[in-house]
Structure 1
Amino acid sequence: MLSPTMQTKLSKFMSKLLRHAPQDFGLRLDPIDGSCSIVELLEVLRAQSKWSDIKESDVQEVAARCEKQRFEITGDRIRARYGHSHDKVSYPAALPPKVLYHGTNVQAAPTIMKQGIRSMQRKYVHLSEGLHFATLAGQRRGELVILAIDAEKASQAGVVFYYAGNEVWLADAVPAEFCRLDEHTEEAPPHD
């Protein structure tokens, strides 16, 4: 069993491999769902001296314990659920819940309220069913602002939502008219 520090380091490296730079390490991901076999992932991991003794159980433990539930293991395959910057992984369109949440920061909120939520360097906009994941995502970017998205109206207006699993929803973009400051954010960010 890996220490918590080593689990965090392995999680970050797995994110790099499965979400951002698989080609840099010779890892080939399925072009449809972004998965690879666990055996292939272990080969790439073990090629790094730091991870030469890594076991499948270590990878499974990191996938199971990741607070943001970034990874999904199905049978003998593993993939990152969301957050890809290397290729646009396909997800089936799905009907979202009435409200979704997006965590951001006080500096970005005024722009989002004018222009909507855009994917920026990622392939999709990331949204969540609850405040937990939105808070985790937004906290790392500075002073937290939670936006509530009227997903029901957005969907009716033609915004397509994709379910990535474990309360995470994706969209290509969300227009500003469907975004509002959530009541869990204490003070509205200033508008320019």
Structure 2
Amino acid sequence: MDALKDKSKMLSRWLRHRPDAIGITLDKRGWTDVAELIAKAAAAGTPINRDELLQIVAESDKQRFTLSEDRLRIRAAQGHSVAVDLKLPVKTPPPVLYHGTVQRFTASIRKHGLLPGRRQDVHLSANRETAEAVGARRGEPVVLIIETFPMVRDGYQFRHADNGVWLISSVPPQYLRLPENGTSTTL
């Protein structure tokens, strides 16, 4: 199973950040040809067959990848640092979304809000547990609460990825709350 996990990580790298690492090209919507991906992955020293690829797509805990209806093309569901336009529709989010981070970033977030960094969008989740798991990847998690209705009222647009992640270009600090001893306070 570790081999599939490693291959999944490589797929994320290639389809989100470094398609050039194996010589594939993403179209403007982030899609690439499955057969070409398989061939170029093998040539780059990471052989992956079609069955493994389908298993990775189906079993990815975060549903990171999307196959086209005809299963001939694949793309990352979100998280790109390369320029793509996934053409995700604007949707009305739930009243509250969450973002997981760690304490060392909260001073900057208080000042600048949530920014996408190297990615195209800020990633938000619909539940606290997912945000905690994201934050825990870097240390003790801090879960920020995003007040979405005031943002929508003020003209911000949210998009919803195929894997359930909510995306937005940024979240200014006035829309964020930081839980404090079980209660929430404005950042």
Normalised by the length of structure 2, the TM-score is 0.88
User: Which residue is equivalent to 1:15?
Assistant: 12
Q: How does 1:49-88 map to 2 (within 5 A)?
A: 49-51=45-47, 54-75=48-69, 76=71, 77-88=73-84
Identity within the alignment, %:
36
The change in CA–CA distance for 1:110 and 1:44 in structure 2 (over 3 A counts) is: same
Which of 29, 45, 52 is the matching residue for 2:41? 45
Any runs of at least 4 consecutive aligned residues in structure 1 with deviations exceeding 3 A, and if so which? 185-188
Deviations 1:52-103 (A, max 9, x none): xx22110111112222221112222211011111114333222211111100
2:98 and 2:144 in contact (8 A); partners too: yes
Matches of 1:36 and 1:88 in 2, distance apart? 12
User: Which residue is equivalent to 1:164?
Assistant: 161
User: Which residue is equivalent to 2:124?
Assistant: 127
Matches of 1:95 and 1:40 in 2, distance apart? 37
Deviations 1:104-152 (A, max 9, x none): 0011123212321011111110111112332232111222001111112
The alignment status of 1:103 with 2:97, answered yes or no, reads no
Which of 10, 21, 25 is the matching residue for 1:24? 21
Q: Which runs of 5+ in 1 are unaligned?
A: none
Question: Shift of residue 187 of structure 1?
Answer: 9.1
Question: Shift of residue 174 of structure 1?
Answer: 0.6
The change in CA–CA distance for 1:111 and 1:186 in structure 2 (over 3 A counts) is: farther
Q: Which amino acid in the other structure matches residue 166 of structure 1?
A: N
Question: Shift of residue 28 of structure 1?
Answer: 1.1
Matches of 2:182 and 2:137 in 1, distance apart? 18
Question: Shift of residue 48 of structure 1?
Answer: 2.6
Classify the secondary structure of the residue corresponding to 2:21.
Answer: helix
- Aligned length, in residue pairs: 183
Question: Shift of residue 186 of structure 1?
Answer: 6.0
Matches of 2:46 and 2:67 in 1, distance apart? 23
Q: Which runs of 5+ in 2 are unaligned?
A: none
Q: Which amino acid in the other structure matches residue 140 of structure 1?
A: R
Matches of 1:44 and 1:96 in 2, distance apart? 38
User: Which residue is equivalent to 1:147?
Assistant: 144
Matches of 2:4 and 2:133 in 1, distance apart? 18
Classify the secondary structure of the residue corresponding to 1:102.
Answer: strand
Q: Which amino acid in the other structure matches residue 40 of structure 1?
A: E
1:101 and 1:147 in contact (8 A); partners too: yes
1:113 and 1:180 in contact (8 A); partners too: no
